[in-house]
Amino acid sequence: MNHRIKVFVGSASKDLGKKICQAIGISPGEATVTKFSDGEIKIKINENVRGYDAYIVQSTYPPGDNLIELLLFMDALKRASAERITAVIPYFGYARQDRKDEPRVPISAKLFANLIATAGANRVLTMELHAEQIQGFFDIPVDHLYAVPVFWDFFRKRNLKTYTIVSPDVGRVKRARGFARRLGSNLPIVIIDKRRTGPNRSAVVNVIGDIKGKTALLFDDILDTGGTIVDAARAVKEHGARKILACVTHPLFSGLARKRIDDSPIEEVVATDTIPVPADRLSKKVKILTVARLLADAIVRIHHSRSISVLFKEIL
């Protein structure tokens, strides 16, 4: 590993950032994150970064302090003359308003893309964006990873012949098809046709495809309150699914998510550590996998100007 690399870890991704550094074979960059008495965030880089390839690992899930900390980190690195700054954002928050679908609403994903570039990022490394078009909101290069290789390593040891991949809504069909192809060339998919009735509220209208007697594997990017994935689980159960599992990349697990999962027919939820989940939000049904090795491999490849497309080949 070229010594001209520094990886800093933000408050929102402490455990994951340390695992990434361990996988790379380096120590996290030395920095201090404190707050003034009124809650204002203060960042100080405690080592020389002049001429270095600098990376800051920080997810931007709520509250907004996580995003502000990322911006301040990059500004500090820029003013300290880092040669290149990469924002490593395992979970890119504020991405669900990615278009103007009704009057007088912001496009928050575009706003925060602008802020990240203005703060000093030369490129972004992120995982499982809520919508692929968000990459186009940035005027800097974006390396977009998928968690599918991590899920594949976990599920490949099982008998997948009875599995059917379930897309919880029409918008996820392309990724569900890619996931099914990665797990097994002949795995079928089922689509849940739902209607969004408001923020965090939806209703299942129809189940498209045959799920009777199959093991349903629900596949989604975000599990927030759990409403969408639990409604999908109940729908496939009513249509004859023998067993129901779920895998999600970003475990927000907010509101009633834990209770809904506990009370649902889902037997197991497999998620990643792009977002740290407090123990009181975790159901006993949840299994957390790490994406540290995947992100570490991407960072090394970026640092050495090598292609990272091999990390998500044949996923889409």
- pLDDT tens sequence across 178-237: 888 888 767 899 999 876 655 655 566 688 899 999 999 999 999 999 998 999 999 999
Q: What is the CATH number of domain 148-289?
A: 3.40.50.2020
Mean pLDDT over 147-167 rounds to 90
Query: Nearest to residue 16, comparing CAs of 240, 296, 311?
Result: 296
Rounded to whole angstroms, the Cα distance separating 18 from 155 reads: 26
Residues 6+ apart with CB under 8 A from 37: none
What was the pLDDT predicted at 195? 67
pLDDT tens across 275-314, in order?
A: 999 999 999 999 999 999 999 999 999 999 999 887 766 5
- Are the C-beta atoms of 291 and 151 separated by less than 8 Å? no
What was the pLDDT predicted at 61? 95
Architecture of domain 5-145+293-311: 3-Layer(aba) Sandwich (3.40)
- Are the C-beta atoms of 172 and 146 separated by less than 8 Å? no
Is residue 55 predicted with pLDDT exceeding 90?
A: yes
What was the pLDDT predicted at 185? 64
Domain ranges in the chain? 5-145+293-311, 148-289
Half-sphere exposure of 10 (CA within 13 A, CB side): 31
pLDDT tens across 225-263, in order?
A: 999 899 999 999 999 999 999 999 999 999 999 999 999
Instruction: Check if 194 is active-site.
Output: yes
Active-site hit among 19, 194, 214, 259? 194
Give kind and range of the element (H or E) at residue 34: strand 31-35
Question: 64-88: string of b/e by CB count within 10 Å (b at 16+)?
Answer: eebbbbbbbbbebbbeeebebbbbb
